[in-house]
Structure 1
Amino acid sequence: MRAVVYTESGDASVLHLVDREPAEPGPGEVRVRIVRAGVNPTDWKFRAGGMGRLAFPEIVPGQDGSGVVDAVGPGVTELAVDDRVWTMLAQHTRPGGTAQEQVVLPVAHLTRLPDGASFDLGASLGVPAVTAHRALTTSEDGPDRLAPGALAGRTVLVAGGAGAVGNAAVQLARWAGATVIATVSSEEKAALATAAGAHHVVDRRSDGLLEAVRGLAPDGVDIVVEVAPAQNLRHDVALVRPRGTIAIYANNGGDEVTLGVRETFATNARFQWILLYTVGEEALRAAAEDVTAAVADGAYGVGEEHGLPLHHYPLERAADAHAAVEAGAVGKVLLDVAEL
C-alpha cells in the first residue's frame, strides 16, 4: 500500500511517499481502507516539530479520514467489513495516521458514516467538528450534549466563522437551536459564514465590533468559540453574559494573553481551554455521536454551499496539501487517497 511518511521534523519537504505492507488489526482494532484524508493545522505543526520531538521513528500524518472497513480484529462487534466510517484522532499515540491507503485504529476512534454522507464530508469531521462540539458543551448551565433544541434561547459568538472549526461551530450551534453570530475579516469570509448558517456576521476589523455584537445580544452572548485569544479575549470578556463560557481552541495571532483580574469578576465567566488529545474518551464519543446525528439530519455539510470550500490533492502531493494548510487556505484541504 502507499503511505506518506516523515522521519524528521521540518517543512513539507520531509514528507515522502513510500510502499508499506498493511498492518493487521489486533484485539479491539479495525483496519480501514482510506478514501479521503483530511489535513489540519495540527498535522503540519506536529511535522514541523512545534508539538515537541517526534514520538516515533517514522510517522504517517493525518488525524482525520473516511473510508471503508476492510478487516476487523478479535472481539470487535461494533463494526463490520464494508461499513463506511469516519476517523477521530487517528495519529494520536500511534505512528500511523490517515495519509495512507490502509490504517489500523482502535474501534473507539471510528464512527459509522451515515448513508448519503460523502467521504469528503466524513474526512472533514474529526478535529474541526469534535473541537466545535467541545466548545459548545462545557458551559456551567449546559448543555453537555447537542441535539435539536439543546441550545434554544442561547446566543453563540463564533470568532473566525469561516475557518474549519468556526464553520463546524456555526453549523452545530445552528442545528442545536442557537442564535449564531460570526466574526470574519473579509466579505468573502462573510459569505462563507452566512452559508454555514450564521444568523449575523460582523466584520472583526471594524471599530464598532463591540457595539455591533451588543446590539445583537444586549444581555451578552452565552458562549464564545474563540480562535485568537491574544487579539480577542478582552472583547470576549466584555461581550459574554454572566456565567457564560469563553471556549478557546487555538492561538492564532499570538501566544500570550493579558487580562486585568477585576474586569473578569463581574462576568463569573468560564474560560474553557480545549485540546482534543486530553479531553477523554467519554467526551470524544459524545461528540462523535452528536456530530453524526447532525450529519444524518442533513444539518452538517461541506463545500462552498455550506461555507467550507474543498481543496483536493492526490496522495502523492501531500506536501503541497500541508503547505496549503500552513499558508492559511480558506476551507478544507483533503487528500484523495482512493476512489470507490
Structure 2
Amino acid sequence: MTATARTSRRAGGLARGWARARHRYGWLDHLVRAGVHYDRVDGGRLSAGMTYYAFYAVFALALLGFVILGHVFDTPAALREVERYLSDTFPRLDVSALLDARDTAGVIVTVGLPLTGLFWIDSMRSSVRAVWGLEQYPGNFFLRWLIDLGVLLTLGLLLSISLTLSFGAQAALAWLAGETVGAEAQSAQWTLSVVAFVLGIGVNFLLSTALLTLTPRLHLSPRRVAGPALMITIGLELLKTIGQVYFNLGAANPAYHVVAGAVGMLLFLKLLNVLILFAASHAATGHHGTVVDLTTRRPVGEPRTEVVTAPAIPTVKEDPPAETGAPETGPAETEAPETGPPESRRPARRRYDFRSRQERGGAGSRRP
C-alpha cells in the first residue's frame, strides 16, 4: 500500500469517526453547526465593528459609574466595589485614572455617554440580528434610537442593581463571619471568596442573558437562552484569567507599557464580542422553544404569507371499471356527491335526465 493510499485511508477513518461523534453527542454537533453559522454570517467582521464602538463606551460607562457613586452615594465602600468589578472584568482598564477624573468629567461624560452608548447598542443590535438573519435596522430611525437608549439605560440599571445586591450580600456575610468565627479566620476568607465568585458569575449571567435577548429585541425561551448565556459567562471568566496572566508576563517590558492599556482593552473586547456572537449563533441554531421577533411580533423563521382566495376547482369522480364478463350498463342512478363551489353544483336529477335523453336518442354508449 502506497503512502498516499495510507494517508487517504487514515483521513477517511478520521472523517467517519468525527461523523459518528457528531451523531452520538448532540452538544458537539450543535457546537459545529454554530461555528459554521458564525462563519457564514461573517461573524469576524461583525465582532470587529462591535469592538470599535465598545472601546469608547466602556470608558464612558465606567466614568459615569464613578460620577454617580462618587457624588450621589458618596460611599467609599461602593466605590471600592465598582473598582473591584471593573478591575476583574477588564484587566487592563486604568481604574485609578478614572477615579481621579470623576470630579472634572461629570459634564463631559453626561453628554458623551449617550452618543457612545447608542453607537455601541446600535452595533450590537444590528450584529446579533444579522446572526439571526433578521432586519438589522427595524422600524423608524428616531423610534429605533429611542428604544436603543432605553436598552442602554436598562443595562446600566441592571448592572447597578446587580452590583448593589452583590455588595450587600458580601457585606452581610462578612459581618456574620466576624460575629461567629472571626473575619480573619481562614474558613471565613475562603467562604467570602467563594461567595464573591458565585455572585460575580450570577451578575455576568444576568447581563449575558440581557445582551442576547434585550439588545436584539428577541424573546427566547429560558431553555434556549440559558446555554448561550452560560457560555458567555464561563468564557468571560476564562478571558479574565488568561488575560491577567498574559499581561502580567509582559508587564516587565518597558515598551509594553506605552500601548498596554489600549491594545489590551481592544484585544479583550474583540475576544468578548466574538464570544457574544458565537453564543448568538449557538442560540440561532438551536431547536428549543419558539423565538419571537419583538419588532414584528412574529416567530423567527416563519415566512411572511398573504391569504389569497382562489376559486376552487371542481373534482370529477370517475366511474369504477366494469368487471370482466359483466354486461355494460349505463350510469348508476345514484346521486353524485356535490363538489366544487356552490355556484357550480347542479342537481343530480338534471344530470340523470340529460343522460337519459342521450340514451333515448340512440347513443347506445357513453358520450365521448
TM-score normalised over the length of structure 1: 0.22
TM-score normalised over the length of structure 2: 0.20
Comparing both structures, which one devotes a greater share of its residues to strand?
1
